Amino acid sequence: MTIKNDDDDARAIQTVHIRDYVNSKFLSLSEEGVAYWFLGFVVLLIGAGLLLVMTTPIVNSVTDVMNGMIADGDISEQTVSAYTWGIGWFAAVPLILLIGLFIGAILKGQEERR
């Protein structure tokens, strides 16, 4: 036989209030904030893609000039390795952008939790 008193009811009510507070405070995100973040994500992705498409011909023409200078022996091997290092970073720009957007999404989610 279980004896029920007012303290049990008060604890049950308090537990429900704490659970509602935790769910509303930490698990829900502002729909408006998420929508604006998604819109910004799409605009940034389109802008970065256009920027990459516009700068690729420039990089290709500079690479052609560098290849001509390499064939003529006008530049040193250190210059070639430095240019190759820079081209490697240019090729990594989409990955760097996606990593940055992923970190931004995490930070935005943390901001909306507060």
pLDDT of residue 61: 93
Q: What tokens does 108 get?
A: 């935005």
pLDDT of 46-57, one tens digit each? Answer: 988 898 899 999
* 3 domain-assigned: no
* 6 domain-assigned: no
Indicate the pLDDT class of residue 58, thresholds 50, 70 and 90.
Answer: very high
Question: How many domains, the chain?
Answer: 1
pLDDT of residue 114: 53
Calpha distance 52→63 (Å, rounded): 16
State which residues form the domain around 35: 29-113
pLDDT of residue 1: 46
Round the average pLDDT of the chain to a whole number and report it: 76
pLDDT of 17-38, one tens digit each? Answer: 555 555 555 545 556 666 777 7
* 40 domain-assigned: yes
Mean pLDDT of 43-67: 90
Calpha distance 35→39 (Å, rounded): 6
Span between the terminal Cα atoms of the chain, in Å: 45
Q: Do 66 and 83 contact (CB within 8 A), yes or no?
A: yes
Three-class DSSP category at 42: helix
Calpha distance 77→58 (Å, rounded): 22
Name the DSSP letter for residue 37: H
* 4 domain-assigned: no
